Each structure stands twice: as structure tokens, then as C-alpha cells.
Amino acid sequence: MSKLLPKILKAVEPNESQDFEWKDVVADPRKSSEFEIESKRRIGMNGGRAYLTLEYRQIAVNGKRLLTGTIVNGYEGPVGIKESFEKGTYTANGGCFDSVDIIAVFTKEKLDPEKGPCFFTITMSRTN
């Protein structure tokens, strides 16, 4: 992925500086497929101007490898980009379901998206 990322970024963000600083953040540990061999979530910023969230999954099936994922260009605040980068804040990934659907086409699995990595639960607690 390290070799592919500069080419992907140039295609996705041709007008941005390609000098991004990257940081791994916690990826969802739930697998998208029994063939999944890697899952990563990273955030990147370039001098505090652009804020990217990269999430990808790699599967190996029938002697071939498939890389699918999303890059989200956006910043959700509320503090500055540099502070969010230091904290490891990432942007919501709307393409997760698309990635799981693409993987299912290649693996021929019947995947249940409700049990996969695309759903999350928010638990709220109240303290006085």
C-alpha cells in the first residue's frame, strides 16, 4: 500500500500537495470476509490544509488479491486539523458498504452487512 498510496492520492486529489503525514488509527477488527488478510484505517494531513481518512481491506481469493476501500477528504471539527490528527480523529466512512459488496462479488460469499464492519453501536452513559 505504501507504494500505491502516492499514485492514488495524485488521482484523487491532483491539486493538493502530496506531502501528507500519515498515522494509523484503530480499524474495526470485524472481518468483511473469511478471505480478508488485512484491514487498515489511516488518517493523513498535509500541512494542516487537507485531512484524509483512508480505510481499506485486502482479500486473497483464488490466487489473486483485491484491494478495496475509500478515501474521504473532509474534516468534521470541532477543533483544528492538527489537533484532530494528534488525537487520531477520523472521518466517517460512507463507502464501507460498497467495499463489502465488492468483496462479496469476488468471493461469492453471502455476507451479512449488519454483522460486518460497517455497522457500529453508540452507547451513551450519563454521569452526574
Q: Facing residues of 38 across strands?
A: 58
Q: In the prediction, which pLDDT does 81 show?
A: 85
CA dihedral 107, 109, 115, 120 (to 10 degrees): 30
Go through 28-43 and write b for each residue having 16 or more CB atoms within 10 A of its CB, e for each that does not. Answer: beebbbebbeebebbb
- Residue holding cell 452526574? 128
Domain chopping of the chain, boundaries: 5-115
pLDDT by position in tens, the chain (length 128): 777 888 888 887 788 777 889 999 988 888 889 999 999 999 999 876 788 888 999 999 999 999 988 888 877 666 788 888 988 888 876 678 888 888 889 999 887 766 777 776 666 777 76
d(CA 6, CA 23): 15
